[in-house]
Structures are given as C-alpha cells and as structure tokens.
Structure 1
Amino acid sequence: MKRIVLCLLAVLTLSQMLISCSSQTKTASNGEIFVMNTVVTQKVYGKNRDKAILNVNNCLKEMEKELSMYIPESYISKINQNAGLTPVKVNSYTFDLIQTTQKYCERSNGVFDITIAPITKLWGITSQNPKVPTQDQINELLPLIDYRNIKLDSKSQTVMLKEKGMAIDLGGIAKGYINDLIKSEYDKLNISSALISIGGNIYAYHTKPDNTLFTLGIRDPKGSSNDMVGKLKVKDKIVATSGAYERFFEQDGKVYHHILDSKTGYPAESDLLSATVVSENGGLADFLSTTVFISGKKQMKQYLNQSEFSVIIIDKEKNVYVSDNLKDSFELTNSNYKLSESK
C-alpha cells in the first residue's frame, strides 16, 4: 500500500511539474522602455521571461550609449568629433557594425549613406525643433556626404572620417542590426517565444506558445496607427518598415518626413507609401526598407524576389506588391488597396 501511495505521489508531482512548465511557457511577460529614441515593447514567453526582458533592455541602453550620435561620450560622437583629425579606436561590435553598414551603402550605390548625419542634424526632424533649412545650407553640407570617406583599420580597430565636418548617423540600421544581440539573449535564457518591437522593426522569435506563427499587421500608411493594409504570418524573422508617415513635421502647409535623400539633402520624394522587408538578418532588413523606399517603383523589381529577403511594397496608387515567397503568409484585409504584379 505504501509503495502504491508513493507511486501516486510521484505521478502527481510529475503532473504538477508539467502543468507548471506548461503554464510558464504559455504565460507572457510584457515590457516597455523608451530607448534609442523610440518605444521598445517586448512580449516574452518562458521560465526566464522577466530576466530576458531586463537583459534586453539593459543591452539596448548600452548600445544607445555606444552608438547614438546625440550622446557626447558614445563611440559615434567621438568619431564625429574627430572627423578630419584623427582615427578613433572603438570596440569590436561598433567596428563590425560600421564596416557592415559601409558595405550596405556601397550595395545601394549611396542611396543609403550613414554619413548623412550633417544633413540629419540640419533638419532636426526627430528633435523638438525641426526646421526647413535654406538651399545654401544644404548645398554647403552635401559634399560631406560620402560613405567612401569612412576609413576603417581592422588591425587597430579604428574608424576615421576623412573630411572635417563629416559625421555618421546609424539611426537607419542600428535598430535592426541589434536584433542579433537580442536573439542571443533569448537563446541563452531558453526563451520559448517572443515578440519585440523597436520602432519600425519587429522581431518574431520562434512561434507562439501554441506553435502557430505570429501574426503582424502591416500598417495602412494613409490611416491611423491602428489601421492595417493586411496581415503577415512570420516566425524567426525581422520585419522592418519604412514610410513617410513615421516621423514628420509641417511647415507653411507642407509636410516634411524624416527619410532624407543623400543626393538632394531633402526628404525623399518617393512614389511609394511604405516599404516592408522581411529577413532573418535585422541589419539587412532595416537598411533595405529605407533603401527600397527611397529608390521607389523604378527599382522595385530587383527587390521583389530575392532569396535573402522578402518585401511588401505599397505605392501611392495603393497597389500592394508582395514577394512570391510571402504570398502564402500575407493576407490583404483592406479593400482600399489591391494586390498587384510588378510589370
């Protein structure tokens, strides 16, 4: 009898453990923080979910200290302050990020250029006091915009800007690139699944607790923040979106958005409303969403069907173009838009 009771107790204990584990896996913790000049939200499942949220938040704060051009002590600020003067030694993460980004700039033929910082500061679109600069002010700074004048020394791990007055702005890629670090934190703590939003970048880590894919809304660029064009199902992907609706200001009846054209020094006059890129590579997705948006419809075809990434592109005529490998994952839900094929 005693042996039977012990067996029953063991079974009950194991059942309680399984129920407890299942509960921990299916219960989410939510986190929100303002960092890197944007709101970051996390929804994390797993036993160590609270610790994961804390670790990721701390990681984001640390990256901001290293990569923000608005923090005087950051590596980026030191590089900018020493432009045309002397190389600046940085840590391996910052060096790798700048090196990778320079290659992306070259890949885009300068459409995406991280040395656009002087123009970014001139407009101040994300600041408290944005303003439309004069043409003379823009013309004075345009010669400083050239990613090829970033001098990298891998042996000494230094970065130098060739011309005085040059400056780097990593705002168009850092939020996506950092997803590799976030994945590492989730992996280390055996997180079962998570969804994190960093501004225009969303990372779907694994599947939901019920093993189904995460469903993300693709925003209606002409609507409010709650209006959607369609739904996208994803797992283990970063989804990065760029659009003129994200950050802007109005002056004398004209709207000026934050995505600047490195060739003109003005907000990009794109014939697209938004460009969404889906990839396992966060830096690539972030860089490409900006590049595709600025490049517009004339360059769209080269981005539609690639193995490295997928896209959802919305033009000003409310046509929606979707990569072939996303067509089973994307559902158009807004009757004001229509699915179209690139000609």
Structure 2
Amino acid sequence: MLLDVERDGVVKVKKWLIIIIVFAFSIFLAACSNEEQSSDSADKAAESMEKNITEESGGSPTGTSNSVNEQEDRQSQEAAESKENEISNVNRKIIYTANLSIQVKDYQKAVNDIQTQVSDRGGYVVESNMYGDSEKGSTNGQMTIRIPQDQFREFIQLVEEGSSEVLESSISGQDVTEEYIDLESRLKSKHVVENRLLSFMEQAEKTEDLLAISEDLAKVQGEIEQITGRMKYLQNKADLATVTIQIQENNVTISGINEDDLNTWEKTKQQFLKSINFLISTFSGLFVFLFGNLPILLVLGCIGLITFLIVKKSTKNKRRD
C-alpha cells in the first residue's frame, strides 16, 4: 500500500516537471519571436526614414552636389561604353607633321615659288628665317608652313620636284580621334550638368543654396571652357598639317675651284681671264690716276711750259750776243 502511494507521488511530480518545462519553453519561443518581429520593424522603419531623407535631399537645392555628381558619373560611364562605336563611325582626326631639307640653285626664287604654292592651297607661312654663308657666298633659310591636310602631300611633292636635290624628307602622324571623342562626351555631360544647376538655381530660395549652386556652376563652366579650348586646338592641328622646310642654296663660285684639279683648257681659260683682269686693272688705275690728279697735272704742265719758254728765250738772246 505504501509502495503504491509513493509511486503515485513520483508520477505526479514527473507530470508537473514536464508541464513546467513545456511552459517555460513556450515562453522562451514567444520571447524570441517578439524580438525578431521588433528587429524587423526597426529595420523597416530605418529604411523608410532613410528613403524619406534621400527623397527630401534629392528634391531640395541643398542636395544638388551629390545628385549632380551621380548624374555626371552615370553619363560618363555611358559615354565610355559607346566611345569605341563612335570612333569607328566618324572621320579620324590625325595630326600630320612633315620635315624637308632641300638644295636649290636660287634661294629667293625657291622661297617665292613655295609661298605661291602655299597661298594657292589655302595655307599660310607661320615662320620664315634667312641667313647667308659668307664663305660659300650662298643663302640658306628655314620656313614653317601650315597647309590643309588634303593638300599637304601634293604640296610636298611639288616642293621636292622644284628642288635641285632632296636631302631629307619625313612625314609623321598622331591619331587624336579617341581623345577628341572623349572630349565630346565629356562636353555633353558637362552641358547637362550645367543646365541642371541652372534649373536648381531658379528653384532655390535660400541664399546659402544660391551660393552653393553658383560655386558648382562656375566650376562646371570653367571645365566646359577648358574642354572646348582643347577640342578647338586638336581640330585646328588636324585640319592643317605643319611642314618645316630647310632650304640650302647650292651656289658654285670660281674662287672655290682648285686649279690643280682643272684640265688644260680650263687652266687656259682661267689664265686668260686673269690676264684680262690684270690689263683692265692696270689701265683702270692709270685712268683713275690721270683724271683724278688732272688739276695738279694742269698746274704742273703750265709751270713747266712757262719755264720751257723762258729758258728757250734766254738761250736765243745769248746766241745773238
């Protein structure tokens, strides 16, 4: 009997323990569930608040800087993706440079002919230098010319054909197509940013906002001027090729001839010319002496004539006596 009572007590205790454990576990699960829901609600609230703040800053003038930078970066990326396709669809821009060194018989005639060819082809002379060589008795010089790209190869050919000898000729080209396309894309992007800043400026109501937008606008407009200037420079260089010409006059003089290397007939001609030059020089000196000293010679002649007459008369008187 006592054993039965003890067994019933143990069973009841186990039941209560099981009930307590199940109850505690249920409370624990409920607490975890509430915590997760609370965390999710907090995250959603934070995201909603962040979204509202972003929308408000994007719609007000004070948030223009970040919005403008995002717009510019996005457009720059799009421009970079399409740049390769654009390069293949446009005329390539190549800067040509040519260097010539020629010999001519008459320097001034060669320069005049080159200037005429340049003018006929719509080009112009950038620089022209001339210097003489006293030892050789010749004239040398240099010319720097800008000539339209579609004319410059023909121009170089004409210059070479008009010279006595071509000492050096070289042509080089620099392809700036990719740089030019990149500048065009950047310029379009900057204009979009400029228009957007102008729109924000019209909507701005606070002085602080106006000052901030004006500063950004001035910076963008300065970048637009730099890009435009670089594009004009590349366009001009590509449209007009630069040609530099070194001109040497090949003038042969008699003083430079070595008599030991001449043949007999040439030596005879040289000696004949020297004899004529000697006679001309002698008679020329005598002629200059006579006519240059004519007044003195006339006075001396008169004195001599008078002296001769006096002596002659005195001689006759002596003979009579």
TM-score (norm: length of structure 1):
0.22
TM-score normalised over the length of structure 2: 0.23
Higher relative contact order (CA 8 A, sep 6+): 2
- Larger helix percent: 2
Larger radius of gyration: 2
